[in-house]
Structure 1
């Protein structure tokens, strides 16, 4: 009889130590294939089986496989292996522990062997990995299939969301040269409040009070900033100051907003698909929303021709609407709106476009992620109309917390 050489771990938390052991990863992948084969022979399927019953079946299968291969694991290691195999069968495999970790905000997969997570604003590598590209692609297909999306060589990129609301982006070869790329922005089940942002020093109490009163006073607000700077988080926080009796309509590419009001209509865009389903753009939805008697419209992100309809709505009776936009400063945000309008058929002279924008947008809020990973509101500006050929912006707050500083 072959002598079994036990694989032992160090002391401490078993789950965390096992999860980062390369040796354990190798054992898990070996046992996983054999366990699946055994379960298949026994007629056990993951779907429709209660979790406890599935765990029992996996435990029996693992015991058989470990015995046949001469691998010895202690009780803690076996418990972790059962959980990992269950994640492979009914979850998202190696991603499951990262998605359950409350400290992880983003999960970034750069090919099967390289995974990063963002904790407290900083990216750090983890030793969790996929077995190979096929393993990673299987998990990707498990993510996108339930939401009616497909990713293959003909459609090498896709946006979507997990059942819990987390936002997902996938890019695969031949567009991604080094293997499939998967990015997940985790959905926060307990939305942050304005007080949370003040406590974390993402904004000052005076900023919050000013913006809360602006929302209550139905000012049109544009939130600008770079990727991952906290635009959607701030939009979600500001929406909490909208009155409970108002009818709100949200338009997003991937639903993330968590509005607390009772009368909310949530709309989501749809990309065109290979099976012939027609694309539904934010502009299409905005045109329909205007017929739905909304009190306010909240647009997750302005990125294309919907800028025209958004500004028209803001300027014609839908005061208190809000949107986000990628831009590096308040003035840049207004100039980006000019560009989007010009690119999509709003044919008039530049001064007319600027008057159109300055009449629709009342406040521009700029968010940024600092070098230490912290997200902050760095500027709050009022749009005070035009001063000659340029926008007149009055900066109410800046990152140095100096109030009422006027800028031209």
Structure 2
């Protein structure tokens, strides 16, 4: 009997004959080598091995899940059995998951596949995550060290840890599985994603920000980006421990918020603007009414008197859109003590500046820019996007009158996020908005052996004008926080 006939007969008569060819051979069977199937006469007739030098190294075989088809069949069967209950409002999330686990146990048992208890438990967990959760992303979402997840098609997932990107071993089995996960995420927040609306911003239940884009806009397959939020909101002590800002900076920013100065947090993408905005918002007294306005709710304010507003995209007919600008205008009629705008990226900047100039002091927002000076130019551009034909000088006067402090946060070359400037907006000189740094980041200390920057933020030695307001309001702040040491003074 030929070798191939013996292998086919053994597989046909073995424990996997019931599954036919729909399920790949289990690892325990796949490990059987050809040597184990050869008889004595076959070994004698086998050709002599070729010298290693004459045989090129084989290409590494792609990683294949031997139970992939079994998982797919079990998932489809689970959909059939509990499909009507997936949207049952009377079932809690815990009840639905418990029911699904019980049904999965029955489905896997019916397959009669020889699995160890550990393999069986893992198989049920993976199928459950695919049907009710986020599939291979579940483990990454549970990993506290992962701060961002980037899915570039179903076969490639990158993650960010400690500010550095790396390729994850996790994979989606197919584009269809990735699409199911994306649709499950956006459906939970009342959004939709399809060919007519192929991109969406959404959020997870824990507040993590999600952006998804699918074909035809994403040429190489669906793309999903998740920026995770800490389960517990970071505090100012955490940021000081991380080196994001100094204790002196924290004291000054605390006083700025309590004195109702208007603050802009400036920074690039992924620098931690929202995290810093959360920390600044924590300084707001608990007896004030706070209204937050965002595209996708991310802020985690701890006060009791907080009203959270979220914009809404247009529906499938192109109607019903509610923009950030609409919400800013509406918030002025809601008797706010503080207005916190997640990000200014359009014409709402003009409404925000007008609110700051007409009695709504203590407002806080963020803007994308690379320096305090760039933040002023960015605000000028955003105001022009409002469609008002205003002269540039009028816009600059609005900015100089409304904004008191710009806090610049930067992601440095070592992956750390640091507050590099605390800058006062002093007013106008001619046609120029004048700025004065109270704190700047000192890069002169160089880097250590691990590539981490040794520098830290230092005071410039210039006492800002808003310090007088602290004194008038009785807000305690030691004058020494603005004093520069001798080394800093010499460098300046």
In 2, distance between residues paired with 1:40 and 1:398? 57
Task: Sort the Cα spacing of 1:77 and 1:331 in 2 relative to 1 into closer, same or farther, 3 A.
Answer: same
In 2, distance between residues paired with 1:50 and 1:259? 31
Task: Sort the Cα spacing of 1:28 and 1:295 in 2 relative to 1 into closer, same or farther, 3 A.
Answer: farther
Query: Offset at 1:7?
Result: 2.8
Task: Sort the Cα spacing of 1:140 and 1:253 in 2 relative to 1 into closer, same or farther, 3 A.
Answer: same
Query: Offset at 1:196?
Result: 0.3
Q: Which runs of 5+ in 1 are unaligned?
A: 9-20
In 1, distance between residues paired with 2:168 and 2:404? 44
**Which residue of the partner structure matches residue 237 of structure 1?**
279
Query: Offset at 1:278?
Result: 1.1
TM-score, length-normalised on structure 1? 0.90
**Which residue of the partner structure matches residue 29 of structure 1?**
68
In 1, distance between residues paired with 2:322 and 2:82? 41
Q: For residues 18-51 of structure 1, what are the alpha-carbon distances to aligned partners after superposition, in whole Å with 9 as ceiling and x for unaligned? A: xxx975x62342121221344467x355634553
TM-score, length-normalised on structure 2? 0.75
**Which residue of the partner structure matches residue 313 of structure 1?**
355
Q: For residues 126-156 of structure 1, what are the alpha-carbon distances to aligned partners after superposition, in whole Å with 9 as ceiling and x for unaligned? A: 1111111122112111111232222222211
Query: Offset at 1:76?
Result: 2.2
Greater share of strand: 1
**Which residue of the partner structure matches residue 60 of structure 1?**
106
In 2, distance between residues paired with 1:176 and 1:309? 35
Q: For residues 294-343 of structure 1, what are the alpha-carbon distances to aligned partners after superposition, in whole Å with 9 as ceiling and x for unaligned? A: 01100000000000010011111111100000001001001111111123
**Which residue of the partner structure matches residue 11 of structure 1?**
none
In 1, distance between residues paired with 2:228 and 2:458? 34
**Which residue of the partner structure matches residue 207 of structure 2?**
165
Q: For residues 151-186 of structure 1, what are the alpha-carbon distances to aligned partners after superposition, in whole Å with 9 as ceiling and x for unaligned? A: 222211111112232211111111111111111112
1:51 aligns with one of 68, 77, 97: 97
Which runs of structure 2 are paired with 1:78-157 in the superposition (5 Å)?
Answer: 78-157=120-199
Q: Which entry has the higher C-alpha Rg, 1 or 2?
A: 2
Kindly tell me the number of residue pairs found equivalent between the two proteins.
Answer: 389
Task: Sort the Cα spacing of 1:7 and 1:405 in 2 relative to 1 into closer, same or farther, 3 A.
Answer: farther
**Which residue of the partner structure matches residue 7 of structure 1?**
27
In 2, distance between residues paired with 1:66 and 1:140? 32
Task: Sort the Cα spacing of 1:331 and 1:52 in 2 relative to 1 into closer, same or farther, 3 A.
Answer: same
Which runs of structure 2 are paired with 1:139-288 in the superposition (5 Å)?
Answer: 139-288=181-330
In 2, distance between residues paired with 1:22 and 1:149? 36
Could you say what secondary structure the match of 1:391 adopts?
strand
Does residue 366 (structure 1) correspond to residue 408 (structure 2)? The answer is: yes
In 1, distance between residues paired with 2:75 and 2:418? 48
| Structure 2 contact 292–340 (Cα < 8 Å) conserved | yes
| Structure 1 contact 153–173 (Cα < 8 Å) conserved | yes
Could you say what secondary structure the match of 2:292 adopts?
strand
| Structure 2 contact 193–199 (Cα < 8 Å) conserved | yes
In 2, distance between residues paired with 1:166 and 1:270? 18
Select the structure with the greater relative contact order (CA < 8 A; seq sep ≥ 6): 1
Which runs of structure 2 are paired with 1:371-382 in the superposition (5 Å)?
Answer: 371-382=413-424
Q: Give the superposed CA RMSD.
A: 2.1
Q: In terms of mean alpha carbon deviation, does 303-312 or 344-353 score higher? A: 344-353
